[in-house]
Amino acid sequence: MGIEPFLLSSSLIGVLAQRLVRVAQPRDQAAVHLRGGRATAPQSPAGQPPPTLYRPGDDILGGYRGRSGIYELIMVDEQMRTMIHDGASEQQIEHHARRSTP
């Protein structure tokens, strides 16, 4: 981005990422039954059935209504600030962020 690392490390508080996903029409959803080689269902807590996955129905509008945001926030701590200042690689900073956040 052309910003000096010492300027970035001293002024950055956090990083917010946003993804917009389409929202399926509730009345037009169709349950998806996963089999064999297609995909694996998300993990569910022990003793509970796996969650039901849905796909949009055959609505003329495509089965979707609007979009919803999925957000991820990473707060910059002192160690990450030092890593940015020292010119650490993107992979090193990502590894630290994944290790230090829930």
pLDDT tens digits along 2-49: 888 888 889 999 999 999 998 877 777 777 776 655 555 566 677 777
Q: Average the pLDDT over 82-101 and give the result.
A: 93
Who has greater pLDDT, 100 or 60? 100
pLDDT for 85: 94
pLDDT for 1: 66
Which tokens is 61 given?
């509008």
3-state secondary structure of 99: helix
User: Looking at the whole model, is its pTM more than 0.85?
Assistant: no
> Is the Cβ–Cβ distance between 73 and 16 less than 8 Å?
yes
pLDDT for 44: 63
Distance (Å, rounded) from C-alpha 20 to C-alpha 78? Answer: 30
Mean pLDDT taken over the chain: 82
Q: Which domains does the chain have, with CATH numbers?
A: 5-100 (3.40.50.300)
Who has greater pLDDT, 62 or 90? 90
6: alpha, beta or left, given left = phi > 0 and alpha = psi -120 to 50? alpha
